[in-house]
């Protein structure tokens, strides 16, 4: 990223006047093209006829380059002098008169994002003014893209075109994973141009279906809320938050409230108070929590004051919601991660529910963390930030314990108490000859659901049928052609799929290497669980929810709805079923092998296992029925599992803190990770090694002791989508923040993008 910013030398620059002696006005403009070479501020003159309309944050049309091509841009500043030679300066052509402007108060946050996430100005601006809103505007149509090419055609095409036509390949990859997606979703994932869609369509690879979109009927909003008397615990937390809200200098609040302690009610009451005080509210929830039930719940509380932003909205609906927010009609915005960018003025409160969720971190550039952005927005508007979770992120909890955040605890559940957890050591079950996926207690508990109204949830955190397929004779393992990972077997189509890039092949009866028949599937996934349920419990109606059954629009909702209406006895699925669901009839939760990921080379794996068990067991016993949880695992003695069984977050926290200190991981340091990927392994390695050298040299030069460790190695997933990957991991403390960002700037400046792609990530959720 070159030319960080223009150096102003206002002393030497005279005011500029026109021929009549009138004072001139200039604007600093960022061009709406996300290319590193255009990531700078360009100066333009504001012609007289635009002076009335122009404002900071406005979207304008400007002539650009030698050919004066017309381009969109955003005004970041208006000033009365210019740094550029005034004879060469060009005039702004026009100023858009619509709602898609950048709020002036958000410009410092755009600049901050560019600095800390090392993205371009326009990458950051596009978060706040999404292109879907700008380009598709009031369209009432949804365009669905469907893959029409056969599997083999699409692979073949990807193989021979991955380098030349990568945009088309990206779309095909996505569609191989989800055969039907909206054009908008594909666009948001790939930034593919309309021409790319057109060529795929012309090749006969995809078809695009245009349908008029009708709004989700609003039956839900006249749902009446049964009157709720708050518990003393809820009242106390509401008062403490209000107290903090009324302070001139506010700290963020972290609420650790066990599952079922009634946090949602608390959030709504605090939000109501803030709205009544004349301010506005943003509430972030994980995407899956944005089910129509939750939305209906909020709508019945906030009536027309609420705007909902979720990925199910058509471009037209999103545009409408955006306008309702922008124009001040909506007082509270509820949405997933990107709702933190909502154009809300007069912000008083941001609530982040299930704050531990990885999904608050963006995995595409800019790799922002919505919680950090929220903290910045709150600081800028003197608003209160509330984070809530049953199992807070260790780093955030540490901040709360140190007094950086206000720590509030809700230890008691509403209604019934905590469910009993029965632990089954599956190693022992196997010794006893049980080769099924059900321990004896789980088998009996499922059988016992019969003749009752009770329902059960089974969670197994791996989709597909089996983890991998290999030959027992020669040791051959089916691996992805494009990534260095083994393929997962999906039984229905007899396919072996790559969960990273979407590549798939048909499984053969014999080993492709030695020709033997001893080819065998190893490990267990949700599809196999489904098979075994059918076999051992033929009388039990069940439904499966995982990434493979929820690709269609609205599939989540349909599954959850059918289950809550009692059409099924069992809901089985991946960690998707462990989150935030509130079903009164669920008395049984089976958690199958949550510890299978404990050996991953990731410092967060223990935290994830603890959380998975706590969250999943929180689904049991939510009504007045006592809950029963059966936990099947292989490492019952591990502290993550022990603490989860004892339902003791603090104990887990202290254990985990000790481990993190020994291994030097957050909160004892921060992490910057730069991944270098290339078609040529040598190139990736060289750039990574150079980067590591740069960092060490800079630390040395500045005598910076806050850089604690610099690692340069091939990434655990050595090859992904045909690119070899090396990474540099830097552990540092707050003192070294400046040096680390400077090093990152130098590295990105030196990076030859055409050869090696460098992607930078601070506090990554995964280091695979
Ligand atoms: P959490 O988000 O902490 O897991 P929820 O907000 O989902 O918990 O609350 C659990 C259940 O308790 C919900 O069905 C909610 O409607 C209900 N609930 C919340 N507060 C009260 C209350 N004061 N009295 C009775 N029921 C309540
Ligand atoms: Zn073999
Ligand atoms: Zn792959």
Strands (E), 619-695: 628-633, 670-678
In sequence order, which residues have a C-beta less than 8 Å from that of residue 31 and are 6 or more positions away?
Answer: 38, 42, 62, 64, 71, 72, 73, 122
Which residue is it, tokens 């650790």? 256
User: What would the pLDDT profile of 46-84 be if each residue is shown by its tens digit?
Assistant: 998 888 888 999 999 999 988 889 999 999 999 888 776
Give me the pLDDT at residue 599, please.
Answer: 75
Positive or negative torsion for Cα 720, 721, 726, 732: negative
* Lowest-confidence region among 112-116, 193-197, 358-362: 193-197
Does 257 sit in the ligand 1 pocket, CB within 6 Å?
Answer: yes
Which residue shows structure tokens 């196999």?
Answer: 528
For the stretch 299-315, what's the b/e string if a residue is b when 16 or more beta carbons lie within 10 angstroms of its beta carbon?
Answer: bebbeebbbbbbebbbb
Poorest-pLDDT segment among 345-349, 432-436, 697-701:
432-436
Distance from C-alpha of 168 to C-alpha of 193, rounded to nearest angstrom: 10
SS3 state of residue 720: strand
What average pLDDT is seen over the chain?
85
Q: How far apart are CA 147 and CA 157, in angstroms?
A: 13
Which three-class secondary structure state does DSSP give residue 380?
helix
In the numeric block, the tokens 């979207």 are attached to: 59
- Residue among 607, 590, 453, 614 at smallest CA distance from 526: 590
> Which of 145-154, 355-364, 372-381 is predicted with the least confidence, judged by mean pLDDT?
145-154
Q: What is the pLDDT of residue 252?
A: 97
Which DSSP string corresponds to 443-481?
Answer: HHHHHHTTTSS-EEEEEES--SSBSEEEETTT--B-B-S
On the question of pLDDT at 399 being above 90, the answer is yes
Element (H, E) at 618: none
Which ligand number lies closest to the CA of residue 510?
Answer: 2
- Closest ligand relative to 298 C-alpha: 1
DSSP strand pairing (723-732 vs 670-678): antiparallel
Measure the CA–CA gap between 235 and 262, rounded to whole angstroms: 11
Question: How many CA atoms lie less than 13 Å away from 32 in the CB half-sphere?
Answer: 26
DSSP three-state, residue 381: helix
Is residue 12 scored above 60 in pLDDT? Answer: no
Pocket test for ligand 1, best of 264, 286, 564 (most atoms within 8 A of CB): 264
220 φ, ψ (degrees, to nearest 5): -65, -30
- Phi-psi region for residue 669, left (φ > 0), alpha (ψ -120 to 50) or beta? beta
- The C-alpha atoms of residue 466 and residue 444 are separated, in whole angstroms, by 25
pLDDT of residue 160: 78
**Closest ligand to the CA of 389:** 1
Mutate to test the pocket of ligand 1, among 224, 230, 259, 262 (most ligand atoms within 8 A of CB): 262
CA dihedral 648, 653, 659, 663 (to 10 degrees): 150
Contact 182, 213 (CB under 8 A): no
Protein residue closest via CA to atom 12 of ligand 1: 262
Tell whether ligand 1 has an atom less than 6 A from the beta carbon of residue 259: yes
**Which residues have a Cβ under 8 Å from the Cβ of 85 and sit 6 or more positions away?**
none
| Per-residue pLDDT tens over the stretch 196-238 | 898 888 888 898 887 655 444 343 444 556 678 899 999 999 9
Residue 371 φ then ψ, to 5°: -70, -40
Q: What distance in Å separates the CA atoms of residue 265 and residue 4, rounded to the nearest whole number?
A: 46
Atom of ligand 1 nearest to the CA of 231: 23
Strands 420-425 and 628-633: parallel
Identify which of 121, 125, 69, 126 has the alpha carbon closest to the alpha carbon of residue 93: 69
**Buried b vs exposed e over 636-674: b needs ≥16 C-beta within 10 Å?**
bebbbbbbbbebebeebbebbbeebeeeebbbbbbbbbb
Beta bridge partners of 490: 495
Q: Is the bond into 667 cis (omega within 30 degrees of 0)?
A: yes
Percent of the chain past pLDDT 70, that is, above it, reads 89
Q: How far is CA 344 from CA 54, 217, 325, 347, in A?
A: 21, 26, 6, 6
Residues whose Cβ atom is located within 5 A of ion ligand 2 = 471, 473-474, 476, 511, 513-514, 516
414 lines ligand 1 (CB under 6 A): yes
SS3 for 620? coil
The string of pLDDT tens digits covering residues 315-345 is 667 777 888 888 888 999 999 898 999 999 9
DSSP string, 37-89: GG-S-EEEE--GGGTTT--TT-EEEEEETTTTEEEEEEEEEEES--SS-TTTP
**Residues 258-317: pLDDT tens digits?**
988 999 999 999 999 999 999 999 999 987 667 777 778 888 888 888 988 876 676 667
Dist. CA 448 → ligand 1 center (Å): 28
Residue 353's H or E segment, with its range, is strand 347-353
Per DSSP, the three-state class of 322 is helix
Report which bound ligand comes closest to the CA of 516.
Answer: 2
**pTM of structure:** 0.82
Q: Count Cβ atoms within 10 A of the Cβ of residue 16 and give its class: 0-12 exposed, 13-18 middle, 19 or more buried.
A: middle
Query: 228 CB less than 6 Å from ligand 1?
Result: yes
Q: How far is the CA of 200 from the centre of ligand 3 (A)?
A: 22
* Strand arrangement of the beta sheet that strand 495-497 belongs to: 488-490, 495-497, 504-506
513 lines ligand 1 (CB under 6 A): no
Judged by DSSP in three states, 439 sits in coil
State the Cα–Cα distance between residues 708 and 703, nearest whole angstrom. 12
Q: Which ligand is nearest to the CA of 233?
A: 1
Q: What are phi and psi of 754, to 5 degrees?
A: -70, -25
H helix or E strand, kind and range, residue 728: strand 723-732
Contact 263 CB / ligand 1 (< 6 Å)? yes
| DSSP run (H or E) holding 613 | helix 605-617
Strand partners, 28: 43, 77
Q: Tell me, what's the pLDDT at 220?
A: 44
Bond prior to 8 in cis (omega within 30° of 0): no
Residue 450 Cα to ligand 1 middle (Å): 28
DSSP letters for 117-154: H---HHHHHHHHS-HIIIIITT--EEEEEEE-S-HHHH
What CA–CA distance (Å, rounded) separates 450 from 461?
A: 26
**Model confidence at 17: pLDDT above 80:** no
Contact by Cβ (8 Å): 354, 283: no
Residue 150, φ and ψ in degrees, nearest 5: -75, 165
Largest CA distance in the chain: 97
CB 749 within 8 A of CB 758: no
User: Distance, CA 764 to ligand 3 centroid (Å)?
Assistant: 21
The pLDDT of residue 7: 35
Report whether residue 231 contacts ligand 1, using a CB cutoff of 6 Å. Answer: yes
206 Cα–ligand 3 center, Å: 21
CA 527 / ligand 2 centre spacing (Å): 25
Task: Encode 473-512: b = buried (16+ Cβ within 10 Å), e = exposed.
Answer: eeebebbbebbbbbbbbbbeeebbbbbbbbbbbebeeebe
How far apart are the CA of 408 and the centre of ligand 1, in A? 17
Tens digits of per-residue pLDDT, 497-551?
Answer: 888 887 888 888 888 889 888 888 877 788 888 889 999 999 999 998 888 787 7
**Three-class DSSP category at 247:** coil
Q: Can you give the pLDDT at residue 131?
A: 61
Q: Strand, helix or coil at 228?
A: coil
Indicate whether residue 615 lines ligand 1 (CB < 6 A): no
> What confidence category does residue 256 fall into, taking pLDDT thresholds of 50, 70 and 90?
very high
Q: Which residue has the higher pLDDT, 622 or 587?
A: 587
Model confidence over 449-482: pLDDT tens digits? 888 888 999 988 887 766 778 888 888 888 888 8
User: What digits encode the pLDDT tens for the residues 633-657?
Assistant: 888 899 999 999 998 999 999 999 9
Higher per-residue pLDDT: 553 or 298: 298
C-alpha 135 chain-centroid distance: 24
CA-nearest residue for atom 19, ligand 1, is: 262
- The residue written with tokens 């199992």 in the block is 391
Distance 498 CA to ligand 3 centre (A): 5
pLDDT band at 141 (very low <50, low <70, confident <90, very high): low
Local structure of 662: helix, strand or coil: helix
- For residue 454, how far is its CA from the centre of ligand 1 (angstroms)? 20
Confidence band of 675 (pLDDT split at 50, 70, 90)? very high
d(CA 278, CA 261): 29
**Alpha helix positions (H), 252-355:** 263-276, 292-302, 315-326
Q: Tokens for 537, please give them.
A: 């419990």
CA-based R_g, the chain, Å: 28
Tell me how far the alpha carbon of residue 765 lies from the centroid of ligand 2, in angstroms: 37
Ligand 2 centre distance from Cα of residue 507 (Å) = 13
223 CB-near residues (< 8 Å, 6+ apart) = 296, 297, 299, 300
Instruction: Please give the full DSSP string across 396-456, using - where no structure is assigned.
Output: HHHHHHTTSSEEEEE-PPSSS-PPEEEEEEHHHHHHTT--SS--HHHHHHHHHTTTSS-EE
What's the gap in Å between 188 CA and the centre of ligand 3? 21
Residue having the nearest C-alpha atom to atom 2 of ligand 1: 263
Q: Is there an atom of ligand 1 within 6 Å of 719 CB?
A: no
Quick: pLDDT tens for 563-580.
Answer: 888 899 999 888 888 765
Neighbouring C-beta atoms of residue 595, cutoff 10 Å = 23
Q: Which ligand is nearest to the CA of 473?
A: 2
Locate 267 and state its tokens: 């959030």
Instruction: Give the mean model confidence (pLDDT) for residues 607-625.
Output: 82
Locate the ligand 1 atom nearest the alpha carbon of residue 580 and give its number: 4
pLDDT mean over 704-724 = 90
Smallest CA separation from ligand 1 atom 10, residue:
260
β-strand 206-212 against 141-147: which pairing, if any?
antiparallel
């Amino acid at each position: 990223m070159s030319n960080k910013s223009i150096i102003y030398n206002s002393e030497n620059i005279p005011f500029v006047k026109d021929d009549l002696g009138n004072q001139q006005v200039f604007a600093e403009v960022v061009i709406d093209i996300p290319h590193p070479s255009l990531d700078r501020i360009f100066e333009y003159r504001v012609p007289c006829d635009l002076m009335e309309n122009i404002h900071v944050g406005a979207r304008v049309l400007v002539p650009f380059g030698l050919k004066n091509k017309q381009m969109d841009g955003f005004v970041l500043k208006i000033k009365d002098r210019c740094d550029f030679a005034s004879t060469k300066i060009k005039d702004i052509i026009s100023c858009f008169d619509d709602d898609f402007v950048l709020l002036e108060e958000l410009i410092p946050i755009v600049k901050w994002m560019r600095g800390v996430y090392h993205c371009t100005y326009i990458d950051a601006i596009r978060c706040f003014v999404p292109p879907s809103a700008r380009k598709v505007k009031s369209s009432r149509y949804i365009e669905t893209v469907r893959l029409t090419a056969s599997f083999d055609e699409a692979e073949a095409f990807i193989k021979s075109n991955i380098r030349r036509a990568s945009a088309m390949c990206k779309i095909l990859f996505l569609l191989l994973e989800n055969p039907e997606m909206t054009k908008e979703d594909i666009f948001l994932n790939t930034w593919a141009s309309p021409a790319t869609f057109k060529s795929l369509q012309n090749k006969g690879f995809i078809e695009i279906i245009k349908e008029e979109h009708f709004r989700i009927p609003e039956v839900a909003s006249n749902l009446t809320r049964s009157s709720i008397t708050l518990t003393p615990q809820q009242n106390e937390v509401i008062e403490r938050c209000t107290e903090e809200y009324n302070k001139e200098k506010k700290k963020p609040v972290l609420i650790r409230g066990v599952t079922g302690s009634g946090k949602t009610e608390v959030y709504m009451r605090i939000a109501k108070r803030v709205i009544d005080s004349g301010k506005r509210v943003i509430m972030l929830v994980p995407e899956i929590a944005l089910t129509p039930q939750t939305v209906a719940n909020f709508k019945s509380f906030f009536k027309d004051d609420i705007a909902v932003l979720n990925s199910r909205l058509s471009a037209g609906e999103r545009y409408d919601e955006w306008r309702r927010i922008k124009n001040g009609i909506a007082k509270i915005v509820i949405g997933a991660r990107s709702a933190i960018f909502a154009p809300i003025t007069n912000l008083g409160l941001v609530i982040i529910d299930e704050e531990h969720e990885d999904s608050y971190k963006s995995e595409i550039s800019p790799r922002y963390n919505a919680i950090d952005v929220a903290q910045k927005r709150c600081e800028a508007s003197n608003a209160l930030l509330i984070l809530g979770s049953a199992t807070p992120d260790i780093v955030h909890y540490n901040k709360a314990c140190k007094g950086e955040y206000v720590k509030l605890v809700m230890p008691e559940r509403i209604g019934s108490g905590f469910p009993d957890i029965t632990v089954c050591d599956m190693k022992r079950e196997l010794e006893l000859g049980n080769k099924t996926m059900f321990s004896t207690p789980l088998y009996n508990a499922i059988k016992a659901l019969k003749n009752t109204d009770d329902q059960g949830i089974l969670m197994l955190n791996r989709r597909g049928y089996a983890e991998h397929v290999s030959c027992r004779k020669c040791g051959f393992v089916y691996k992805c052609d494009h990534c260095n990972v083994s393929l997962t077997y999906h039984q229905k189509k007899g396919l072996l799929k790559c969960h990273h890039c979407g590549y798939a092949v048909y499984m053969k009866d014999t080993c492709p290497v030695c020709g033997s028949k001893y080819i065998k599937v190893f490990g267990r996934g949700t599809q196999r669980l489904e098979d075994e349920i059918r076999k051992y419990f033929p009388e039990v109606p069940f439904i499966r929810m995982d990434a493979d059954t929820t690709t269609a629009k609205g599939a989540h909702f349909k599954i959850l709805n059918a289950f809550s209406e009692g059409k099924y006895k069992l809901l089985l699925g991946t960690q998707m079923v462990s989150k935030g669901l509130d079903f009164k009839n669920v008395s049984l939760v089976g958690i199958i092998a949550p510890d299978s990921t404990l050996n991953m080379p990731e410092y967060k794996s223990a935290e994830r296992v603890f959380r998975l068990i706590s969250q999943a067991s929180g689904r049991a016993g939510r009504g007045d029925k006592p809950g029963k949880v059966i936990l099947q695992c292989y490492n019952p003695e591990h502290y993550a599992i022990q603490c989860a069984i004892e339902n003791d977050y603090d104990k887990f926290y202290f254990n985990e803190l000790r481990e993190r200190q020994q291994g030097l991981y957050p909160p004892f340091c921060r992490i910057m990770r730069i991944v270098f990927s290339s078609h040529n392994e040598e190139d990736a390695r060289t750039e990574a090694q150079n980067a590591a050298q740069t960092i060490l040299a800079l630390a040395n030069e500045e005598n910076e002791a806050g850089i604690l460790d610099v690692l340069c190695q091939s990434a655990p997933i050595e090859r992904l989508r045909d690119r070899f990957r090396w990474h540099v991991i830097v552990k540092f403390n707050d003192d070294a923040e400046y040096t680390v960002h400077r090093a990152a700037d130098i590295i990105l400046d030196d990076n030859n993008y055409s050869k090696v792609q460098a992607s930078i990530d601070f506090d990554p959720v995964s280091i695979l």
